[in-house]
Structure 1
Amino acid sequence: MPPVPTRLLPGRPNPLGATWDGLGVNFAVFSAHAERIDLCLFDPAGRREIARLPLPECTDEVWHGYLPEAQPGQLYGFRAHGPYEPRHGHRFNPHKLLLDPYTKQLAGEVRWSDVLFGYRVGAARADLSFDRRDSAPAMPKSVVVDDSFHWGDDRSPCIPWDRTVIYEAHVRGLTMLREDIAVRERGTFAALADPRVIDHLQRLGITAIELLPVQAFLQDRFLVAKGLKNYWGYSTLAFFAPEPRYMVEQWMRNEVKVAVRRLHAAGIEVILDVVYNHTCEGSEMGPTLSWRGLDNASYYRLMPDEPRHHINDTGTGNTINISHPRVLQMVLDSLRYWVEQYHVDGFRFDLGTILGREPGGFDPGSGFFDAIRQDPVLSRVKLISEPWDIGPGGYQVGNHPPGFSEWNDRYRDGVRRFWRGDSGMRSDLAARLTGSAELFDRRRRRPWASVNFLTSHDGFTLHDLNAYEQRHNEANGEFNRDGHSDNHSNNWGVEGETDDPAIRATRRSVMRAMLATLLASAGTPMLLGGDEFARTQRGNNNAYCQDNEVSWFDWAKAQGDEGQALCRFTARLIALRHRLPPLRPARFLHGGAEVRPGLADIAWFDQFGTPMTPEAWNEPEARTLILRRATAAEDGSVDATLLLLNADSAAQDFAMPDPPMDWSVLLDTAAPEAEDYPLTGRTIPVGAHSVLLLATRLPPA
């Protein structure tokens, strides 16, 4: 065993984190207000602190030191000395072991105990008190890593935005019930990389998988106390480290890279859902695990008049102070690390409005947006924002800068309401079908700036949207008060599961119609994983703490007759989207351009084939609509499509609009297994709760 070191060499202030150079390790950590920072080294088991060495230098508020002969695998942490003055925003407590904000790997996990808090839990002075107990036994340890990996000829598929189809999934939930995968691999990146999982995505036609948070996260104390788990992962503990539970062995970081490489080989991009709006440390009453102990006043946004308290625009107790240059640097360094070291292809930013918040509120020209848009690495990957938070002015759909796409909840709600049969939804549906131009057609943005979705991890699944009118979140332990109360859902006659054949048929019809609407809309479609075979969460619309069969994909259902039929139908829809340019226009269409004399790029008609009038748009009880789109190809030919939508509870006859064309029926959601056939005549019946897709190609003029 090598001798225990007694001191550090000066080292360098960059890069931040622990960097192995083959001869030793350089440690560097930011703190503007610390008076001293100690590097703590631990034995391989992480149970015994074997050395405590002050970082000898501080340059530009970065504390640093170099440990010769140190190797990858070395366990470490920090202790920060400085003022414990909560009223002034400072919460230094050297009795608390701190994770490196740049740690690339964790060893062990948080073991909940009052010693993790910088103050005496239960003390009369609350967080103004001071706790002198050592937290190291209850803390995971940071690990020095070697990032080398043989990527071979791996490269991003670089799928164009207009051809992107996103599949939102959870690494663990996707494969926990896959009986054809080894038990020890289920729920891990190794299972995600399994050829059978990738084959399912390929058969559907998916071009990008968007994974719920995979950066290491905390199992929140209030959930542990109730016997529940943080399943979704929106409680980040380490921005650079993968979640240990998602690997067969917690140290096997290369499993992530293997999965990415195999997905790339299959032509599938990998997008990560990332959480840079808050950390797992919660409010001022939360534990001291990393950032709070290193420099609370720099890493977090504090109340200007009462810096003892955190600003809580996130609803989680704290808000990261991304306006601080070193905090902004940490976020950008983390993003670049995942692109450069893990080869991911993009990010979805949880509560993305937070990232654009400056002291005066949301700003599309904020430091974060400006920095990421000019970054030579990050500006080239797919960037998606969840454009809202709970702070003042927090709803910012359509207001992000060019380069960012946005989750469009207006699409979700409008399409749900139309197919539920709500009154007065014609014009709203038209806006959603055409990429929500009223929100996104500015600053030369393209239709794919709107990420269209019917369902996501947050809310009902597609099956439950058509089986439940009320949330059923009792298993969450919050007396069914959590989750959205207004879901624009419809159970079609019975709450929950039923054997009634008529109700079941109606539910399947509406699900198919909604999926057809999604894949025929301008913008970027996102499918919630499992909706392709009608996955259910038993009415739970906030399954964030359900790490069990409630959330896991029921692959037995996927193999049933109905599940397979819906999978085939979904794959057919995606294939049609890839095949037909009018379904994925590259620009917003407003009807002002003609691709042929008398043939506008986009046109709207009622079910009688008559061009829509203001009166028709405002007819409250009309639940039918025709959309015609036409796109000119490079050879002068024209692709045209007709979308016939009937949200009525009875079948309706639709008439073809002028000019007459030789239409073929490519899809009828009321007859999902029917083959293509040419339309004869000028009228066609459209079933209740159904969509028809017709197409034609006009030869070069």
Structure 2
Amino acid sequence: MTIGLLRLADDDAPMLLKVAIRKENEAKVFDWEGDLPLRHPDRDLIIYEMHVRGYTRHESSGTKFPGTYRGVVEKLDHLKELGVNCIELMPCQEFNELEYYSYNSVLGDYKLNFWGYSTINYFSPMIRYSSSGIRSCGRDAINEFKYLVKEAHKRGIEVIMDVVFNHTAEGNEKGLSLSFRGVDNCVYYMLAPKGEYYNYSGCGNTFNCNHPVVRQFILDCLRYWVTEMHVDGFRFDLASIMTRSSSLWDSVNVYGDPLEGDLITTGTPLSNPPLIDMMSNDPVLHGVKLIAEAWDAGGLYQVGRFPHWGVWSEWNGKYRDIVRQFIKGTDGLSGAFAECLCGSPNLYQGGGGKPWNSVNFICAHDGFTLADLVTYNNKHNLANGEDNNDGESHNYSWNCGQEGEFASISVKKLRKRQMRNFFLCLMVSQGVPMIHMGDEYGHTKGGNNNTYCHDNYINYFRWDKKEESSSDLFRFFRLMTKFRRECESLGLNDFPTAERLQWHGHTPGKPDWSDTSRFVAFTLVLSHQTFMSHL
């Protein structure tokens, strides 16, 4: 197969890579060596959110192929040691890396789209994550992605992809014309009456997910990554957009003709969105993990209410916010904190859900790292070149008495204790825990909670920090994941009942649910273990 660069006469995006492929012979068949899906039960997952490039790009990784799929393979044993059995890859479908390309005078480098939430080609792994980079024009990227999946499976680690079907890299009506806009603009995007784009994604356009053509495209894409690339599941960015109507008729009869009197506005939330229905009942996707980020930028917040058909899990943003507030000492949250420990039955049990419907997390790529959560009261995003105006201002963080990394010994000691409190809570909560890359050694981004544009040390995993003898946080993480795996009372398939669960305060059997309570402890009868999380 010969692959060469193609320059279009009417080029709307000259800085993007185009390829023309001429098939001369059959491509080399990848040897999967009998690889099969691992099919870990959802309740047993311990997820690790990672960035392919950021994981090994720093020079301290010592890898032969830093910042690549092969680089990740070189460091998979770290994840095995940590005790995770599932990695969630931030976007690695081909995306527009140059979307924000501009000189950043603050750091003296150039802003790039580092996170990858701007897809160009949904059927191609990111070329620049291959060891050959753009020289391979995709040949090596495909095989190296497969190699990553195969090697992860050999270590008992599943691979989930973070995918972006809520918008594309084409932007709004003033944006680039790369693909869908030129094929059929009104089919692939939600358009307002005057032709402008509805922007429920906050990124310029909204993919018209429930249009019959578009939902078949999405289904074909997911099937490809499962059958050809052997991935084990997907996390859907801003998944609530996939529950919005695509036209005036969609809420009526999603497979037939509209019924009189049932017209609705484009983008209205659907109680039974056809795309979610198709994915949930597709035979090829049967057993594949499906995780929703159950909100969007248009105000549709569905945590605890995302249509699940018995197979979908959700990023539980409410868990994150409640746990952060309770552990930093906010009044009146001991009862809500107890719900989080039980897998959030207040959110999921009423709709027939299970504890594993809740993907619990304290930190993710978007927001403070665990170390920054206990080091900064305020965001410090000046390095982004936007005068600190970007990023979330409400982080439910506490600096433990002093702002920034330079603090007294007593403050640093308290911060370490707080980080352990957070991770202890995550590991003993029912549901599925998710760890953010770098939190296991206390990675800091200097208080920057929106590092989308930095292909530099801010986002790179620091292997030298992990190896520092003074850093004992990794040992704590490793022992806690081991404890979770070995404790049969954790990772239950059903919510704990009153017969099995007993709450305590400072006095056994006497829980304190008052507004000023800072101490919650419980016993699960099955294992006769008592777990405590307190300040």
> Among the aligned pairs, what percent are the same residue?
37
Q: How does 1:260-409 map to 2 (within 5 A)?
A: 260-303=149-192, 305-306=193-194, 308-358=195-245, 359=247, 360=264, 361-401=268-308, 402-409=310-317
Partner in structure 2 of residue 171 of structure 1: 52
The aligned runs of 1:96-495 (5 Å cut-off) are: 96=10, 111-112=14-15, 140-143=18-21, 146=27, 148-179=29-60, 181-182=62-63, 185-194=65-74, 197-224=75-102, 226=104, 227-249=110-132, 250=134, 251=136, 252=140, 253-303=142-192, 305-306=193-194, 308-358=195-245, 359=247, 360=264, 361-401=268-308, 402-495=310-403
Query: Secondary structure at 1:338's aligned position in 2?
Result: helix
**CA shift digits 1:327-374 (9 cap, x unpaired):** 111111111111111100000000000111125522352111110111
Q: Deviations over 1:229-266 (max 9, x none)?
A: 00000000110011111001243020111111000000
Within 2, Cα distance between the matches of 1:160 and 1:455?
23
More strand by share: 1
CA contact (8 A) 1:364 1:399 kept: no
Residue 409 of structure 2 corresponds to residue 501 of structure 1: yes
Q: 1:180 to 1:540 in 2, by over 3 A?
A: closer
State the AA in 2 paired with 1:555.
Answer: W
| TM-score w.r.t. length of structure 2 | 0.90
- 2:430 aligns with 522
Q: What is the alpha-carbon distance in structure 2 between the residues aligned to residue 233 and residue 557 of structure 1?
A: 26
Shift in Å, 1:220: 4.3
Counterpart residue type for residue 382 of structure 1: K
1:82-97 pair list within 5 angstroms: 96=10
Where 2:525 maps in the other structure, the secondary structure is strand
> By how many angstroms is 1:44 displaced?
5.0
> In structure 1, what residue type is equivalent to 2:336?
D
Alignment match, 2:532:
644
Change (3 A) 1:488 1:279: same
Conserved 8 A contact 1:96-1:289: no
Query: Shift of residue 481 of structure 1?
Result: 0.7
* Contact 1:435–1:522 (CA under 8 A) maintained in structure 2: yes
C-alpha change, 1:561 and 1:181, in structure 2 (3 Å) is closer
Give the secondary-structure state (helix, strand or coil) at the position aligned to 1:532. coil
> Is the 8 Å Cα contact of residues 603 and 611 (structure 1) preserved in structure 2?
no
**Residues 462-510 of structure 1: CA distance to partner in whole angstroms, max 9, x if unpaired?**
0000111111111111111111101011111221112521111100001
- Measured in 1, the distance between the counterparts of 2:458 and 2:426 equals 25
Q: Which has the higher relative contact order, 1 or 2, with Cα contacts under 8 A spaced 6 or more apart? A: 2
Which letter does structure 1 place at the counterpart of 2:506?
Q
Mapped to 2, the partners of 1:584 and 1:392 lie a distance apart of 32
With over 3 angstroms needed to count, the CA separation of the structure-2 counterparts of 1:47 and 1:403, relative to structure 1, is closer
Partner secondary structure for residue 415 of structure 2:
helix
**Counterpart for residue 503 of structure 2:** 604
Contact 1:96 1:288 in 2 (8 A): no
Distance 1:502 1:412 in 2: 26
Cα distance change on mapping 1:207 and 1:222 into 2, 3 Å: closer
- Alpha-carbon deviation of 1:399? 2.8
- Please tell me whether the aligned partners of residues 379 and 403 of structure 1 are also in contact (alpha carbons under 8 angstroms): no
2:155 counterpart letter in structure 1: A
Amino acid at match of 1:603: Q
CA shift, 1:378, in A, is 1.2
State how far apart, in whole Å, the 2-side matches of 1:142 and 1:379 are. Answer: 35
Displacement of 1:382? 0.6
SS in 1 for 2:466: helix
Letter in 1 for 2:14: R
What is aligned with 2:253? Answer: none
Pair 523,369 (structure 1): closer, same or farther in 2 beyond 3 Å:
same
Deviations 1:499-553 (A, max 9, x none): 5211111000010111000000000000001111001111110001011000101
Question: In 1, distance between residues paired with 2:355 and 2:36?
Answer: 26
User: Any conservation in 1 of the 2:209–2:215 contact (CA below 8 Å)?
Assistant: yes
Question: In structure 2, do the counterparts of structure 1 residues 144 and 472 end up closer, same or farther at CA, with 3 Å as the change threshold?
Answer: farther
2:46 pairs with 1:46: no
Judging changes above 3 Å, is the alpha-carbon distance between structure 1 residues 171 and 395 closer, same or farther for their aligned structure 2 residues? same
List gaps (5 residues or longer) in structure 2: 105-109, 248-263
How far apart, in 1, do the equivalents of 2:320 and 2:84 lie?
20
CA distance in 1, matches of 2:4, 2:338: 61
Q: How does 1:5-24 map to 2 (within 5 A)?
A: none
> Using a 3 Å threshold, how does the CA distance of structure 1 residues 378 and 225 change in structure 2: closer, same or farther?
farther
Kindly provide the amino acid, as one letter, of the partner of residue 323 in structure 1.
N
Note the C-alpha offset of 1:585.
1.6
CA-to-aligned-CA distance 1:255-300 (integer Å, 9 cap, x gap): 1111110000000000000001100000001011111111111110
User: Where does 1:624-639 land on structure 2 (aligned, <5 Å)?
Assistant: 624-631=519-526, 639=527
Shift of residue 182, structure 1, vs aligned partner: 4.3
**3-state SS in 2 of match to 1:553:** coil
Aligned residue number for residue 260 of structure 2: none
Native 8 Å contact 1:432 1:521 kept in 2: yes
- Say whether the 8 Å CA contact 2:49–2:437 is kept in structure 1: yes
Q: Distance in 1 between matches of 2:20 and 2:213?
A: 20
**AA at the equivalent of 1:349:** F
Q: How many residues align?
A: 500
Q: Aligned partners of 1:143, 1:627: CA distance in 2, in Å?
A: 61
Structure 1 residue ranges without an equivalent (≥5): 1-19, 21-42, 50-94, 99-109, 113-137, 592-599, 632-638, 648-701
Deviation readout 1:371-419 (Å, 9 max, x if unpaired): 0111111132111000000225344443331211000011111111111
Q: How far apart, CA to CA, are the structure 2 residues paired with 1:395 and 1:96? A: 42
When the two chains are superposed, the root-mean-square deviation of aligned CA atoms in Å is 1.9
The separation in 2 between residues aligned to 1:375 and 1:555, in whole angstroms, is: 41
Contact conserved, 1:216 with 1:244, CA < 8 A, in 2? yes
Q: What is the distance in 2 between the residues matched to 1:588 and 1:144?
A: 56
For 1:187-225, what per-residue CA distance to the aligned partner results, in whole angstroms no more than 9, with x for missing partners?
00010111xx11111111100010100000013444335
* Matches of 1:529 and 1:543, distance apart in 2: 14
For residues 451 and 147 of structure 1, what CA distance do their matches in structure 2 show?
39
Is 1:581 the counterpart of 2:488 in the alignment? Answer: yes
User: CA 1:403 to 1:244, structure 2 compared with 1: closer, same or farther past 3 Å?
Assistant: same
Q: TM-score, normalised by structure 1?
A: 0.69
Give the secondary structure class of the aligned counterpart of 1:239: strand
Displacement of 1:140? 1.4
Change (3 A) 1:456 1:580: same
